Structures are given as C-alpha cells and as structure tokens.
Structure 1
Amino acid sequence: MSWIAVAIGAAFGAWLRWALTVFLGHFHSHIQLGTLVANLAGGYLIGLALGFFDALPTLAPAWRLFVITGFLGGLTTFSSFSGEAMVLMQRGHYGWALGHVTLHLLGSIGFCVAGYATWRAIA
C-alpha cells in the first residue's frame, strides 16, 4: 500500500507544479516563477507536515508517505531548478543565476523553518 500512497500524492503534487508553471510562466523573463513558488510553498508545507507528523507519531505511515514523499516530492523540483540555473548561466545571465540559486535554496530552507514554527505556534 505504501507505493499507492506515494503514487497518488506524487500525481497531485506534479499536477499542482505543472499548473503553477502554466499560470505563472509568463510573468518574468529570467526567473520561472512557477518553479520558485512550487519550491517555496513546498518548503513551507514540509515544515508544517514535519511538525504535524511529529505531533502524531501513531498516525499510519502511509499518510506521511502520501504527503511528504508523494505530494511534496511531486510539487517541489530540484531538477527544474537546476536546469533553469544552467540555462541562465549559458545565456550569460550570471547575476540572475546567482539570484535564482539563492532564492530557491535559502528561500526553501527558510520557508521550511517558518512552516515548522507555524505548526509549533498553532499546536
């Protein structure tokens, strides 16, 4: 049953990432906002999820697999982020590439911490 939880969660996460890319893809010429929003939102949501699952250790493991491995794994994307950074560098947009990398990495970690802190504040 674990693989079903992961597969269903991943399908929903990937669909949402695709929708963000389609909806936000035309707003900026150098930064793919859909990928950025997916990664930052995913960072925040995984922080919330980690707090939630820490608070409920008896919850069936399939739920954690569905949410974290499946949904959030499908939503967030290190491969698209990496490819976008490489394209920026290939085009000579080194400043944009540095900003892109900084926003994704530090932003995702910061949002994860914020999500966990949010859970602790409301729990």
Structure 2
Amino acid sequence: MSAASTGWAAWSHLPPALAVALGAAVGALVRWQAGAWFNPVWSGFPLGTLLVNAVGGLCIGMAVTWLSRHPDEGLRLLLVTGVLGGFTTFSAFSAESLSLIERGRLELALFHTLAHVLGALGCAALGARLMRVWVS
C-alpha cells in the first residue's frame, strides 16, 4: 500500500517545510483541545498531556512501522515530524512535572513522570505491533 493508493499522494509532494508546518499546526491544535477537555477531569493533574503523549506514542509506533514498509519522505515529514511532533509534547510534560515538584507533590510528580515515559514507550511498542499485524 503506497501513499498514492491510500489517498495521501498529494500530501506527500508538499515542500518539506510546508509539510512540517501544516502537520505541526494540526497536531498542536489537537493537543491544545485535548488539554482543554481532559485536564479538568483530574484536579491538579495534567491528564490531557499524559493522554496526548500516550496516544502520540501509539500513533508514532504505527506510523514509523508503516513508513518503514512504504517509505515516503514527504508523508513522514507531514505525519511524524509535523502532526505527531506538534501533537506530543515533552516540554509541557517537563514543565508539569516541575510544577508538581515545586508544589511538594513528589509522589504525584513521580507517577506523572513514570506514566509519561512508560506509557508513551509502551504505546509506541503497541502501535508498532498493531501495524505489523495489520499490514502482514
């Protein structure tokens, strides 16, 4: 299944900087909306960022696995560097962890850190495994 056969052909021919910029704008908007929806769910804990990084890990595992079998540099720039780079956020995660530490919430900061790192890594592995099953 190539980019052309999946309907992505037009996107894969964008100039590289435009592909990254458009993808990043979409990813950042979705991340912002996820924070608006999910951060209020658990008072004092940035659930939206955790969910974004876990879902982003899943998606990046799927994307890099699919793209390793169907190389398309333009599509990689759009989806992986752009959309998923704009969607996931290590900087927000770091700031939120620091804020929890500064407020004396050390247990929550530790949970937050472990959940992000292990959650994103686990979801990336799951995404890669799912994609291998789906495309085999």
Range of TM-score over shorter length: over 0.9
Size of the aligned set, in residue pairs, is 121
Equivalent of 1:113 in 120, 125, 129: 125
Structure 1 length-normalised TM = 0.96
Question: C-alpha displacement at 1:33, in angstroms?
Answer: 1.1
The TM-score with structure 2 as length reference comes to 0.87
Note if 1:19 corresponds to 2:33. Answer: yes
Residue in 2 that maps onto 1:71: 83
Cα separation, 1, equivalents of 2:51 and 2:22: 21
Shift of 1:25: 1.7
1:44 counterpart = 2:44: no
- Structure 1 stretches of 5 or more lacking a match? none
Which sections of structure 2, spanning at least 5 residues, go unmatched?
Answer: 1-14
1:70-89, aligned counterparts within 5 Å?
70-89=82-101
Q: C-alpha offsets along residues 100-121 of structure 1, whole Å, 9 cap, x if unaligned?
A: 0000001100000000000001
1:9 aligns with 2:18: no
Runs of 4+ in 1 over 3 A off after TM superposition: none
Letter in 1 for 2:128: Y
Q: State how far apart, in whole Å, the 2-side matches of 1:117 and 1:31 are.
A: 30
The reply to whether residue 95 of structure 1 matches residue 107 of structure 2 is: yes
C-alpha deviation, 1:30, in angstroms? 2.7
Contact 1:30 1:96 in 2 (8 A): no
Between the two proteins, what is the percent identity of the paired residues? 40
Q: Indicate the residue corresponding to 2:67 in structure 1.
A: 53
AA partner of residue 63 (structure 1): L
Deviation at 1:29, TM superposition (A): 1.7
Matched to 1:6, the amino acid is: V
